[in-house]
Structure 1
Amino acid sequence: MPPARRAAAPLALCLLAAGCAAGPAPDPAERDVRTAVAAWAGQPSARPAGLPLAQWAYEVTGVRRDGPRATATAELRYRIDGYDTAPAGSAREVRLTQSAGRWTVTGDTAAPGAPPQPWDQGPLEVVRGAHALVLRAGRGGPHPADVAADADRAVPAASAAWPRPWAGRVVVLVPPTQEAMAALLGRPPAAYTGMAAVTTGSTGGAAGPADRIVVNPAAYSQLSAAGRSVVLTHEATHAATRRATTERTPLWLSEGFADWAAYRGTPTAPADAAPALARAVRRGDLPAGLPADRDFAFGADPDALARAYEGAWLACRLIAESRGDGALVRLYERAGREPLDTALGEELGLDGAELARAWRERLRTELAAAP
């Protein structure tokens, strides 16, 4: 018998023999649970009221039953219409009960260990501005219409600083408390003390959900109108530059550029926008070099973190003033895809050490004599 025939014969016998390769029969109750989740997810009542959605679907990945109760683990995939270019994901647990042979969904929460979604934190208010969609949960924090107005001013400012194609719109989340903000981001609340907002998003330009600007209601509410403008322009600039930002991009450049965009065109004096760094320079504590990536770590000493952001802004301000806005934009683009010294040399005509020396001299000139 040829080898191929010998290999096929056991397979034929296996298919004919009872139980040879058969798996367990599908559980009808599990099938019914999956069907019930799919039917529930298709109803308007399963979706957050007022949220414009282009996609909303639950993929059940497992079912646990305990008599007339069941819990389905699922992956929620949703896409906000007009903002997300790909679905966002959320690990969920859907609870069901059975009555008269029929399964009914009774609850839906974030899976253990998974970040919640805004609508998990209370009733959702949705306000659409010209350039922003604002989602406020739980009736806490600044009013969503006010945040939308702030964002509508910030997005054009970001576009003016970054004259490259981008969506030109942002999604802003307003949780009710700093603790709720931290929960959305999956980090300890202390990591965001003093931070008015942060931006989430994937770098490198891959298709994905829109960046989310997450507001810290405790800090944001204490800001002046000018302060709110700086914060949201900074965060909108992160969204604008996302496609050009990669792991190569040094944080002093990405954070400094965002602050440069936020302060661009304002009469803000360096000592006013960089008070922590000004104090350090006046006491003779001049930084040895440009801020390292580790200097921007969340949860770091607040004064040291402030000095890192302020120093980054002053470095980008120096580049724009000495070489022009266009050179700073081109440097940002190139720094995300090639060695920094190569980009510095070809765009600015200097290397990292020379830039650091010029920056340190600018700190002495502008901050040492500040009151």
Structure 2
Amino acid sequence: MAVQRRDAGRKRVRARRTAGAVLAALLLASACAAPGDPARDTATQEIRATLDRRAAAVLNHDPAGYLAALAPKATALRAAQRTELANLADVPLKSWSYELRTVTPHGAGRATADVDLRYRIDGYDRAPVSASRTLELTRDEADGRWYIAADRPGKGASGLLWQQGDIEVVRGSRSLVLGVGRPEAELRGVAETADRAVPAVSAAWPESWARRVVVLVPDTVEGMAGLLGSPVASYRGIAAVTTGEVGGSGRAPGTADRVIVNPQAYAMLGAFGQQVVLTHETAHVATRVHTSPATPVWLSEGFADWAAYRGENRAADLVAPELAEAVRGGEPPAELPVDEDFGFGGDAGRLARAYEGGWMACELIEDRWGAEKLIAFYKAVGGHPGRDGAVEQALHTVLGTTPQEFTASWRDYLAARLG
């Protein structure tokens, strides 16, 4: 089966709330930040000061200052946080801050705070990585300060690499590899492969991007799943994924991207397969600023594969074996892949054909209209205000065709190259 990859950055927000729940949320938000309640305002300011001191301690590599923000009696938390700070010691941090979103008081000097941890790696991140955290806090009557008594991922949030162990840092010429529990030689090999991926992607995508990539290598697939906040079964056969928030504007990413490697699946690939995987994922990093909810998965994944295989001089049926088998068996697809075809945990053949079909669609655009038009098409789709009509309009304005004509041309192209 073809190498499987998936952009894990696509986030779908479901706004299915009852009127009562919405009203309750509004009332709670109002109560948490009510300017007319001096006591509540003071608590918010004091909690923010605690978080600011904690952030400064991280940047200053100050264990005493970091632990000073924790409740003295929270013995287990203090031990865990001491270890986590030590695990971060070699990571070149540019910034580290906490954005306080809500404070919910519980009376008697207790409160819950929802915060966003935001950090950047020096020399690599144009935008910060954001991680949602929920903190339980207590107020000491003696000194009047608020202390953190519990720290856990926010609802639906994933874990953090430094919670899994001591981070080994390997610097490439165009990459930074952060690994936990993996041999240094293995991490250096990942960096060398990522270093080759960056110029390959820049040649395929000449638009402005950081031209550097950060790769995370946890010790196991379980560690990978923990970083993604998803079931382990979803990633056992997946060599790597890219995380990153897809913004609605198409002009700027909401958070920095990370390529996350599944060390077991990645190790099973040969040198060529590893290069394809990291080039594919790096293409997602490069194109993120022009990828939006309007972008169908066949285009984002197809373009990433196009960038990865571009210039490799591989026969189409070797790159798309599942689709070639379907075409030669008289069962070519009738339509371009839909987003649901790219779901993990389902039929492996269907998933492979979806990736291959997206790649062939991008190959068709390059062959018939040229690489510049393919890039313009990608940007036009991502710049549309919503999914409805995005592909249709870009096909018309950039390529001068219609969805029906393009689909027919794609089917003919499959037959010509794979038949």
| Aligned position for 1:335 | 381
Pair 224,98 (structure 1): closer, same or farther in 2 beyond 3 Å: same
Q: Extract unaligned runs of 5+ from structure 1.
A: 1-20
| Aligned position for 1:42 | 56
Asked whether the 8 Å contact 1:76–1:92 carries over to 2, the reply is yes
Determine which of 313, 318, 321 is the counterpart of 1:267: 313
Q: Extract unaligned runs of 5+ from structure 2.
A: 1-34, 67-84, 385-389
Asked whether the 8 Å contact 2:137–2:149 carries over to 1, the reply is yes
Asked whether the 8 Å contact 1:30–1:63 carries over to 2, the reply is no
Q: Which has the larger radius of gyration?
A: 1
Write out per-residue CA displacement over residues 57-80 of structure 1, whole angstroms, 9 at most, x where no aligned residue: 345665999x9x999765422222
RMSD: 3.4
Distance 1:248 1:70 in 2: 40
Quick check: 1:76 aligned with 2:117?
yes
Write out per-residue CA displacement over residues 290-319 of structure 1, whole angstroms, 9 at most, x where no aligned residue: 112221223331110100001111111122
Pair 305,38 (structure 1): closer, same or farther in 2 beyond 3 Å: same
Asked whether the 8 Å contact 1:334–1:343 carries over to 2, the reply is yes
- Greater relative contact order structure (CA < 8 Å, 6+ sep): 2
Distance 1:340 1:22 in 2: 49
C-alpha displacement of 1:324: 1.7
Quick check: 1:324 aligned with 2:370?
yes
C-alpha displacement of 1:89: 2.5
Write out per-residue CA displacement over residues 148-170 of structure 1, whole angstroms, 9 at most, x where no aligned residue: 11111001111100111111112
| Aligned position for 2:395 | 344
My pick for the range that moved more, 301-310 or 103-112, is 103-112
Distance 1:322 1:27 in 2: 62
Pair 314,138 (structure 1): closer, same or farther in 2 beyond 3 Å: same
Pair 347,134 (structure 1): closer, same or farther in 2 beyond 3 Å: same
| Aligned position for 1:169 | 212
C-alpha displacement of 1:367: 2.1
Pair 173,142 (structure 1): closer, same or farther in 2 beyond 3 Å: farther
Distance 1:332 1:213 in 2: 21
Quick check: 1:90 aligned with 2:131?
yes
Query: So what's the TM-score if we normalise by structure 2?
Result: 0.72
Asked whether the 8 Å contact 1:289–1:356 carries over to 2, the reply is yes
Quick check: 1:234 aligned with 2:277?
no
Quick check: 1:57 aligned with 2:62?
no
Write out per-residue CA displacement over residues 230-276 of structure 1, whole angstroms, 9 at most, x where no aligned residue: 11111111111112222222222221111011000011111111111
How many equivalent residue pairs?
A: 348
> Secondary structure at the residue paired with 1:220?
helix
C-alpha displacement of 1:179: 1.9
> Secondary structure at the residue paired with 1:42?
helix
C-alpha displacement of 1:142: 8.0
> Secondary structure at the residue paired with 1:126?
strand
Superposed, 1:1-40 pairs within 5 Å as: 38-40=52-54
Give the AA of the match of 1:216. Answer: N
C-alpha displacement of 1:359: 1.8
Write out per-residue CA displacement over residues 93-132 of structure 1, whole angstroms, 9 at most, x where no aligned residue: 6689999x78987985535653111111111111222222
Asked whether the 8 Å contact 1:84–1:208 carries over to 2, the reply is no
